[in-house]
Amino acid sequence: MASRPTPHVNRGLDVRKSHAGRLVVAFTATGAVLAPTSLAQAAEPFRIDLRADVNRDGRVDTTGYTDAVGEDTWSIRRGAVYLPNIDDDSKRCRATGPDGKPLSDAKLVGCNDALDTKVNGTTDAADLARVRSVPVKALPSDAKGSITVTTGAAHTRVFLKRSGGWTPVTSQTRLTAKELRSGVELGIEATDVIRDSTDWDGRAVIRFTVTSSAGTRSDSVTLRVAPLLTHHHLQKAQQVLVYKDSIDDDFGDAQRAFVKDLEKEVRRAGVTKPLVTFDKYQDMWAQDFVEPAYVSMTGPGGKRQAMRVMLRSAQDREAGRELYERLRGPDIGVVQAKGPDMKAWETLNSMGNLETIPPYTHRGRSFPAGRVIMGERTGSGVRPSQEIRTLLKSQGLQDPLLLDTSWLAVGHVDEFVQFLPADTPRGWRLGVADPEAGLRLLRDAQRDGHGATRMFSVPGEGNDVPRETIDQALASPHLVADNTMAARRINAALAVLKRETGITDAEIVRVPSLFTRPSEEEEESGTGTPTLQRLGGSVAREMTGEHGQQKLLARDPNAAEPTVETSAYIPGAVNGIVIAPDRYIAPQQWGPVIGGKDIFTEAVTAAYTKAGMKVSYLDGWLYHIGMGEVHCGTNTLRDASAAWWKA
């Protein structure tokens, strides 16, 4: 007796579907083969077939079968994608009301292209994902079609291409027999990003139904909204954001000089787009009130259709309003993850506390679009808001990794860690602040007889210029202890990053740094770190945000000793801008000058040069005295054209 044949379908061959979306096969003595078209049609009066761009090549295949397999499922690697259409293509969203007064935050949020029933802009609906029906030739003349969204209807809008324009699909929309015979084209958009995957996981199921005297047939396809992704440093820098003060005083003059020098450095690195300058709300911390992100899919013709999404910090910093007022427009939207607990100030919710590990695979886990890292205050239980963590995790690609930053006054991960492009198999290296190396520089200088050299070479004699010498700094009751503690905490964070990414010591760039606590006793004696507290009220109005507003000592109940909250003593070199694959803009060190050379500048340059980076320096002292650096005062828009589903 012959053995029972094993059914199989070769996905590279001719795959057909029945009216219910099932594969039509016939069995022979050698296995399953595809039935002839005539046999399939003989079994059914007519067949209908709805297709989406399952293989993400920018074309909905209705003549072949490249988009026929897997249309009812979705994974990171395969499945149709549609965009949250939250930009403002026709620039219709206003910043002021009819009376000319600024709109409230709620009203600013309440306008984007997904909140109307029109296809906005002049780019032929580039933000719409396409879904098409296969033309039905053998169709009864009384046939009528309809489109429904059976999953994700509250977050999905469907348009029908009809008479050269786009018409919103409603429960009353009916497709004619003529349209069904020629095939229909649909445009799909989401009305929002995924906020919480337990409420909505981003999926939309589009059902196509045809009814006639011969019966009712239906077919469905599944799409998922494109994940909201943060940028990493392997993506090319395209434009830099910065605050540009418009007030005529010493602070304003210094800030304008910073912006002018920044523009020169950015152009030297090959970034040709002009700076985006904020000037309305006097918030100099451009890194903190926004995190540039993006969504993308493959659009018509195979070109990537990308939309920038400016992720506003969970805190209602006024400067975040400029994201709606100035930046929102064609291919730029704004999102804020804000919960009921956002009335209390929490520095961890600022976006300097959100960085992204470049793509990697380790121990069976793959992050083709990179992975988010954020700081938390371990022991006290203080973390970034639940809403932002839920939003980031719900995208399904960049599962946030939390590192302990309880030893930092501001508490941001960008104060001690960064990621550098590298010509290595991994494609990147980890840059990290090294307090032990910073102490060695001072001790070596003291040993060589330079203890009387001033610690800081920044010009000027005002109360914002520290006066201590190397000898005085090393004699501080806190400096050595604080940096020993900082080194231990940084090494603990490194252990987490090694475990999670597989990075090795050979791939770590250790950059000399120093941290210290702001101390009232040392301030009175003219030693210790320069901070906003030392400057008093003269520039306090300018130092908005968390910088300079933190309590300086807190006890971690799980620690063996008090947690001392520190900030950078010498300007933190890792808090700079990765502006090109081989170029880095670091904060000017203003360290001790010995033999005509700044010993910290020399050491920092050597560390980055060894890592293949050319370093230039930018005077960010204005930011340093506010407990931040060059990175804290800027932000970067990066290229989003690469396919996020490919490693």
Residue 462's pLDDT band (cuts 50, 70, 90): low
484 with 406: CB under 8 angstroms?
no
Mean pLDDT of 599-614: 98
316 with 338: CB under 8 angstroms?
yes
Fold agreement (46-85+128-225, 229-638): no
Mean pLDDT of 46-63: 95
Please state which of the ranges 97-111, 206-220, 508-522 shows the lowest mean pLDDT.
508-522
In the prediction, which pLDDT does 73 show? 93
Mean pLDDT of 631-643: 97
Mean pLDDT of 618-644: 96
R_g over Cα of the chain: 29
CA-CA-CA-CA torsion for 466, 471, 474, 475, nearest 10 degrees?
Answer: -100
- What is the SS3 string spanning 237-273? EEEEEEECCCCCCHHHHHHHHHHHHHHHHHHHCCCCC
Going by C-alpha positions, the residue among 238, 114, 276, 242 that lies closest to residue 620 is 242
Count of other CB atoms within 10 angstroms of residue 573: 31
Calculate the alpha carbon distances from 371 to 197, 358, 497 in Å: 18, 7, 11
Q: Please calculate the CA angle 532-537-538 and round it to the nearest 5 degrees.
A: 95
CA-CA-CA-CA torsion for 208, 213, 215, 216, nearest 10 degrees?
Answer: 20
Residue 647's pLDDT band (cuts 50, 70, 90): low
In the prediction, which pLDDT does 3 show? 37
Mean pLDDT of 14-43: 36
Mean pLDDT of 444-460: 96
204 with 190: CB under 8 angstroms?
yes
Residue 369's pLDDT band (cuts 50, 70, 90): very high
Residue 522's pLDDT band (cuts 50, 70, 90): very low
Please state which of the ranges 71-75, 120-124, 202-206, 339-343 shows the lowest mean pLDDT.
339-343
**Residue 36 clears pLDDT 70, i.e. is over it:** no
Residue 541's pLDDT band (cuts 50, 70, 90): very low
- Report the run of H or E that residue 168 belongs to, with start and end: strand 165-168
List all residues 6 or more positions away from 465 whose beta carbon is below 8 Å from its beta carbon. 456, 458, 459, 530
Mean pLDDT of 188-195: 97
How far is the C-alpha of 585 from the C-alpha of 266, rounded, in Å? Answer: 9
- What is the SS3 string spanning 19-63? CCCCECEEEECCEEEECCHHHHHHHCCCCCCEEECCCCCCCCCCC
Which CATH code for domain 46-85+128-225? 2.60.40.1700
Mean pLDDT of 132-151: 95
pLDDT in tens, 490-514: 999 999 999 999 999 999 999 999 9
In the prediction, which pLDDT does 13 show? 30
Which CATH code for domain 229-638? 3.75.10.10
Average pLDDT, the chain: 86
**Residue 315 clears pLDDT 90, i.e. is over it:** no
In the prediction, which pLDDT does 379 show? 83
pLDDT in tens, 373-386: 999 999 888 999 99
How far is the C-alpha of 312 from the C-alpha of 264, rounded, in Å? Answer: 28
384 with 348: CB under 8 angstroms?
yes
Residue 338's pLDDT band (cuts 50, 70, 90): confident
In the prediction, which pLDDT does 138 show? 86
Domains of the chain, residue spans? 46-85+128-225, 229-638
Burial of 530 (0-12, 13-18, 19+ CB in 10 A): buried
Residue 162's pLDDT band (cuts 50, 70, 90): very high
Mean pLDDT of 387-413: 97
Mean pLDDT of 438-457: 98
Mean pLDDT of 437-446: 98
Residue 45's pLDDT band (cuts 50, 70, 90): low
The two tokens of residue 182 are 């020629």
How far is the C-alpha of 311 from the C-alpha of 372, rounded, in Å? Answer: 14
In the prediction, which pLDDT does 490 show? 98
User: What's phi and psi for 262, nearest 5 deg?
Assistant: -60, -45
- Amino acid found at 200: W
Q: What percent of the chain is modeled with pLDDT above 70?
A: 84
Mean pLDDT of 21-45: 38
In the prediction, which pLDDT does 316 show? 83
**Residue 203 clears pLDDT 60, i.e. is over it:** yes
Where helices occur in 306-455 by DSSP H, the ranges are 321-322, 386-394, 435-447
**Residue 180 clears pLDDT 90, i.e. is over it:** yes
How far is the C-alpha of 210 from the C-alpha of 222, rounded, in Å? Answer: 18
